């Protein structure tokens, strides 16, 4: 029989980004004794860490936001359609202040290990500075793109210039007049290029795979538009929750195949000009499913690149040809391609001639070396699982989460993993590829409802069952197999497959079956008394089991 030491807290949340703050809000509302540990010195998560020049959100501000609490919706006045990092950070800081969340947050506290104590049915948390606490439940909200990836290139430690990763920017780094190299042309890299091209003496863009960079078309939100947005919020959220990617949009009900070439061109032009993800989401519904249709969109973008980049050889190098449009998350840019017309911006193809070494003074690729004062790695993240496996998480029977995931990700709807009792994820691996705020809001609500259900039924132990995890993994695979993205095997690296990290198991780590479908599944699990989870009480003998299996 357990010795039953009382934990210090009901719930400890890890991470104060969008997910952690939504979880904290929901658990506070449910009157839990909840605290939050955050590695950074402030709230924001991604928007705390990613302070690199040019960092900016790619989703329109008014729905890259929480839907709860009227004062949050009405009082924070977004200024731009796609605000910069400072504004998104200011928003999250405002939310934390306005909802009184900060009193529960311990900043500068990075969790090093999490260990489940079977005798006492609680989690022991240890921070890197030695601080400890105990909690009945733990919610991880560590972000899907939070663990920076630095490629293991020989000589990387010998470089004597300034070296920085995009997600760990050095405040005040001045590149004016310097020879700057940037490795990586994903969403982070292209934003950096746009900004640094104007400042650096020479900017060397070391590109392995070109991307389809869409136009941003940013603008200031007028007072009139802001009033309209506020008045429409109920409809905006209803639409977002009913949409495949959690955007307040509707399907176009058009396919490229069924449209004349003239009409197709008109629609492509219109949505290209509209900016943001419109070209992906509001042109045609078959881009993810029909290779020929996808190629029409891809060629449209390649032609935009050819129009904008004066040197035809450089233009061709910037044209993606090795993956279909959408197979890698397409970045959103502002005059990205035009930067390559500047005499100080140099495109280096490191696909043909891969980077082999970092020397004291620069980077060697093929038989060439480029000397650099500053070397920037915009090389991405160990996505979805990396934030979790960076902590030493030990569940029951000594199970290590890193070992479990090394054999393939296992979760029940991205919410929890078998053998890790009372550990719940906010935006864990295997959650939808979608607009994040509405997704993490649902996770926070789900957790609070589950804890309420447990309290009402006298349970203090919950664990995901293994069978739903296998079903969910199969559903993830079926959903992505239904698209054209990875049909022909793995071509270019994509963080959603895990193959951007050498040695990581290659498998789809997000759900491509639609945010709307996902919400329906979570709703159903909840309506069915949290189906697929096992509950029990360990402090006193179990009450009659309620639709659950014994552990």
> Which residues contact ligand NAP by CB under 6 A?
56-58, 145, 151, 166, 183-189, 208-209, 329, 350, 355, 378-381, 492-493, 495, 500
Q: Could you tell me the two tokens for 124?
A: 């022991």
**Shortest gap between Cβ of 435 and ligand NAP (angstroms)?**
11
Cβ nearer to ligand NAP, comparing 213 with 443: 213
CA atoms of 453 and 456, how far apart (whole Å): 5
**Shortest gap between Cβ of 61 and ligand NAP (angstroms)?**
12
Cβ nearer to ligand NAP, comparing 137 with 377: 377
Cβ nearer to ligand NAP, comparing 339 with 548: 339
Q: Coil, strand or helix: which one is 496?
A: coil
**Shortest gap between Cβ of 414 and ligand NAP (angstroms)?**
16
CA atoms of 159 and 322, how far apart (whole Å): 32
Burial class (CB in 10 A: 0-12, 13-18, 19+), 310: exposed
CA atoms of 334 and 314, how far apart (whole Å): 18
**Shortest gap between Cβ of 468 and ligand NAP (angstroms)?**
27
Cβ nearer to ligand NAP, comparing 151 with 326: 151
Closest CA to 290 of 259, 330, 320: 259
Q: What is the DSSP letter of 200?
A: B
Q: What is the largest CA-CA distance in the chain?
A: 76
Cβ nearer to ligand NAP, comparing 329 with 412: 329
Handedness of CA 280, 283, 287, 293 (dihedral sign): negative
Radius of gyration of the chain (CA): 24
Cβ nearer to ligand NAP, comparing 67 with 166: 166
Q: Which residue has the tokens 């790619």?
A: 58
**Shortest gap between Cβ of 178 and ligand NAP (angstroms)?**
21
Note whether 180 and 157 are within 8 A (CB): no
**Shortest gap between Cβ of 188 and ligand NAP (angstroms)?**
3
Closest-approach residue to ligand NAP (CB): 186
Cβ nearer to ligand NAP, comparing 57 with 105: 57
Cβ nearer to ligand NAP, comparing 49 with 461: 49
CA atoms of 423 and 400, how far apart (whole Å): 13
Q: What is the DSSP letter of 65?
A: S
Closest CA to 55 of 94, 29, 99, 86: 86
Q: Coil, strand or helix: which one is 233?
A: helix
CA atoms of 332 and 337, how far apart (whole Å): 11
**Shortest gap between Cβ of 249 and ligand NAP (angstroms)?**
17
**Shortest gap between Cβ of 416 and ligand NAP (angstroms)?**
24
């Amino acid at each position: 029989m357990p010795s039953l030491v009382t934990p210090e807290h009901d719930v400890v949340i890890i991470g104060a980004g969008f997910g952690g703050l939504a979880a904290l809000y929901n658990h506070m509302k449910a009157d839990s004794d909840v605290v939050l540990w955050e590695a950074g010195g402030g709230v924001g998560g991604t928007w705390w860490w990613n302070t690199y020049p040019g960092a900016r959100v790619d989703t329109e501000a008014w729905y890259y936001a929480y839907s709860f609490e009227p004062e949050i919706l009405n009082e924070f006045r977004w200024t731009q359609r796609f605000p910069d990092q400072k504004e998104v950070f200011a928003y999250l800081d405002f939310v934390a202040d306005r909802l009184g969340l900060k009193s529960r947050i311990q900043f500068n506290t990075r969790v090093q290990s999490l260990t489940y104590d079977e005798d006492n049915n609680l989690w022991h948390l240890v921070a890197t500075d030695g601080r400890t606490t105990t909690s009945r439940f733990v919610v991880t909200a560590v972000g899907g793109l939070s663990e920076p990836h630095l490629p293991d290139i020989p000589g990387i430690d010998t470089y004597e210039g300034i070296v920085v990763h995009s997600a760990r920017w050095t405040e005040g780094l001045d590149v004016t007049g310097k020879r700057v190299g940037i490795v990586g042309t994903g969403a982070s890299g292209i934003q950096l290029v746009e900004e640094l091209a104007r400042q650096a003496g020479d900017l060397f863009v070391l590109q392995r795979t070109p991307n389809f960079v869409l136009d941003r078309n940013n603008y200031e939100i007028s007072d009139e538009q802001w009033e309209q947005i506020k008045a429409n919020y109920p409809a905006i959220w209803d639409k977002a929750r009913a949409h495949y990617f959690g955007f307040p949009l509707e399907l176009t009900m058009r396919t490229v195949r069924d449209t004349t070439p003239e009409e197709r061109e008109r629609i492509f032009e219109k949505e290209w000009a509209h900016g943001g993800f419109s070209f992906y989401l509001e042109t045609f519904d078959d881009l993810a499913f029909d290779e020929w249709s996808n190629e029409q969109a891809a060629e449209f973008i390649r032609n935009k690149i050819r129009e904008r980049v004066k040197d035809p050889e450089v233009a061709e190098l910037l044209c993606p040809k090795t993956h279909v449009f959408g197979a890698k998350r397409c970045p959103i840019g502002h005059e990205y391609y035009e930067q390559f017309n500047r005499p100080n911006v140099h495109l280096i193809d490191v696909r043909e001639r891969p980077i082999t070494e970092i020397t004291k003074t620069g980077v060697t690729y093929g038989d060439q070396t480029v000397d650099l004062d500053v070397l920037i790695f915009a090389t991405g993240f160990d996505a979805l699982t990396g934030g979790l496996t960076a902590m030493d998480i030990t569940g029951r029977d000594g199970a290590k989460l890193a070992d479990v995931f090394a054999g393939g990700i296992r979760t029940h709807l991205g919410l929890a993993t078998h053998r890790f009792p009372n550990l719940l994820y906010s935006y864990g691996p295997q959650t939808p590829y979608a607009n994040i705020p509405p997704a993490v809001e649902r996770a926070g609500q789900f957790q609070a409802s589950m804890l309420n259900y447990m309290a009402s039924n006298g349970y203090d132990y919950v664990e995901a069952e293994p069978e739903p995890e296998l079903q969910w993994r199969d559903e993830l695979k079926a959903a992505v197999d239904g698209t054209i993205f990875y049909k022909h095997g793995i071509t270019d690296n994509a963080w959603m497959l895990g193959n951007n990290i050498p040695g990581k198991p290659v498998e789809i780590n997000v759900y491509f079956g639609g945010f709307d479908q996902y919400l329906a599944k979570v709703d159903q699990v909840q309506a069915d008394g949290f189906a697929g989870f096992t509950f029990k009480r360990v402090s006193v003998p179990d009450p009659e089991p309620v639709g659950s299996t014994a552990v």
